[in-house]
Amino acid sequence: MKLKVTVKRQKDPQSPPYEQSFLYQGEGATVAGIIRKINQRENLTDINGEPAEKIGWECGCMLRKCGACAMIINGRPSLACSQYIEADGELFLAPLSKFPVVRDLIVDREHIFKSLYKAALWLDENMGYDEEHHAARFSSSNCIMCGCCLEVCPEFSLGEDNYSGAVLPVNSYRIADREEEPQHLKQISKQYQKAFFSGCGQSLSCNKICPCNLPVEELIVKSNAINVWKRRKNKK
């Protein structure tokens, strides 16, 4: 396989971005594998033979569990560890555009974790459980907070502190569905309506983009039912 790999690069947050291309020849591999092979070259040069710095990127597991390798791959946000390239052609890599760039393909996703903390998504001592809703709660727990859903959301912008995007309802469901302490549930619902429900334009662009194939639309509906319409059935 022969690929022209073009990377949108940035030395640091203050430096201007630029593009640099590399030639990859080898077996079909994940995008992560291709980047690793390029970086393993003893004297890295670009496609024009000019010396180049190693490509900056992140990975924590290589198993679609951590979300650290999220980036834009040929125009679509995805995980480098799970996106396979098996044919000749061109590969264009860029950092997620909705988050501050740290270096090259590395972005700062701190906003996601801060928004979930602000939404009070933790369980107090009293929590309910029922087998009927367990599958949906398990789906909710599989969110790796990679940011791909936020990348395609037309309403999400890092400068807008009041809107958290689909990552909030996806993670809110498993907590709100089990919380039995009235004041905490009220706190969760209030922040949910402020940080998601009132700002969502219902484009559902987030629904098919999840690299973990989570049922995003279903979890949004379930979270809305609990946090907005106060529908909590079969609680034990």
Is position 102 within any domain?
A: yes
CATH of the domain at 85: 3.10.20.30
pLDDT for 236 equals: 42
pTM of this prediction exceeds 0.75: yes
DSSP bridge partners of 92 = 6
Residues 172-200, mean pLDDT to the nearest whole number: 93
How is residue 196 annotated by DSSP? Answer: I
Report the candidate in 146, 125, 2 with the shortest Cα–Cα distance to residue 65.
Answer: 146
User: In this structure, are 116 and 164 located in the same domain?
Assistant: yes
User: In this structure, are 97 and 114 located in the same domain?
Assistant: no
Is position 123 within any domain?
A: yes
d(CA 5, CA 73): 11
User: In this structure, are 43 and 135 located in the same domain?
Assistant: no
User: In this structure, are 15 and 99 located in the same domain?
Assistant: yes
User: In this structure, are 120 and 97 located in the same domain?
Assistant: no
User: In this structure, are 138 and 150 located in the same domain?
Assistant: yes
Backbone φ and ψ of 85, nearest 5°: -120, 120
CATH of the domain at 148: 1.10.1060.10
Number of domains in the chain: 2
- In the predicted model, is pLDDT for residue 234 greater than 70? no
Tens of pLDDT, residue by residue over 93-142, are 999 999 999 999 999 999 999 999 999 998 776 677 777 778 888 999 99
Report the candidate in 227, 115, 106 with the shortest Cα–Cα distance to residue 167.
Answer: 115
Cβ–Cβ < 8 Å for 83, 135: no
User: In this structure, are 19 and 72 located in the same domain?
Assistant: yes
User: In this structure, are 90 and 168 located in the same domain?
Assistant: no
Q: How many CA atoms lie within 13 A of 197 on its CB side?
A: 20
d(CA 107, CA 2): 28
Cβ–Cβ < 8 Å for 101, 18: no
pLDDT for 180 equals: 86
User: In this structure, are 13 and 74 located in the same domain?
Assistant: yes
86 is written with which tokens? 């098996």
Q: Over the Cα atoms of the chain, what is R_g? A: 20
User: What are the C-alpha distances in Å from 224 to residues 44, 111, 205, 221, 236?
Assistant: 51, 22, 17, 5, 20
Residues 14-19, mean pLDDT to the nearest whole number: 97
Of 63, 88, 107, which marks where a domain is finished? Answer: 107
User: In this structure, are 34 and 73 located in the same domain?
Assistant: yes
Of 107, 127, 151, which marks where a domain is finished? Answer: 107
Q: Which domain holds residue 43?
A: 2-107
Cβ–Cβ < 8 Å for 58, 69: yes
Residues 215-224, mean pLDDT to the nearest whole number: 96
Of 87, 107, 127, which marks where a domain is finished? Answer: 107
Cβ–Cβ < 8 Å for 151, 145: no
